[in-house]
Amino acid sequence: MEPIRSGRLELVVATLAHLDAELESPEALGRILGAAVPAGWPPGEYDRAAVEFFRARLSADPAALGWYAWYAIDRSKEEARVIGAAGYLGPPDSGGTVEVGYSIAPEFQAQGFATEIVQALVARAWSVPEVSRVIAHVRPENAGSVKVLERSGFRWVGPGGEPGAVEYERVRPTA
């Protein structure tokens, strides 16, 4: 599957080979991506359990490639750098909804990367006719993430996801 290209970033789909490498070590992931992986990888809520979840889902349904994890790589510098991971929590549901999530390594936060990633994931979702709505869950106290969603055209819906989280949505524009 072709990478998603945005202004500064390249989003590379996580294949089983990528996920296996990531489960082995950050260094193995860096080798397969051809990019430096930051210390302390993985970032935020994108943890080992998330990688194992994506691997199990993709292994069970290889046709779902592209509906799980993507690696965000900044190739604008002399040395390419993995700045975060993002993606969907699975293919569109029967109502046409997909959920996005994103985690940016601490040293790359507050630089607009998350907004760029979310906008690229929404654009990719809209390229699939079955997708009518994109949602995200966030804790209200995570002001940075709330700003990312608002800048990306999402609107607050109400409580959702795990306890204490709220749901934001973006509905496909009508013609």
Instruction: Yes or no: say if 64 and 57 are a contact pair by the CB < 8 Å rule.
Output: yes
End-to-end Cα distance, the chain: 28
pLDDT band at 173 (very low <50, low <70, confident <90, very high): confident
pLDDT tens digit string along 40-86?
999 988 999 999 999 999 999 999 999 999 999 998 888 999 999 99
Q: The whole model's pTM is what?
A: 0.94
Of the candidates 83, 151, 61, which has an alpha carbon nearest to the alpha carbon of residue 115? 151
Percent over 70 (pLDDT), the chain: 99
| pLDDT exceeds cutoff 80 at 33 | yes
Average pLDDT, the chain: 95
126 pLDDT tier (thresholds 50, 70, 90)? very high
Beta bridge partners of 121: none
Distance CA 67, CA 121 (A): 10
Residue 175, pLDDT above cutoff 70: no
Note the CATH number of domain 4-171: 3.40.630.30
Q: Is the pLDDT of residue 161 over 80?
A: no
pLDDT for 63? 97
Where residue 38 falls among pLDDT bands split at 50, 70, 90?
very high
Helix (H) / strand (E) element for 58: namely helix 48-60
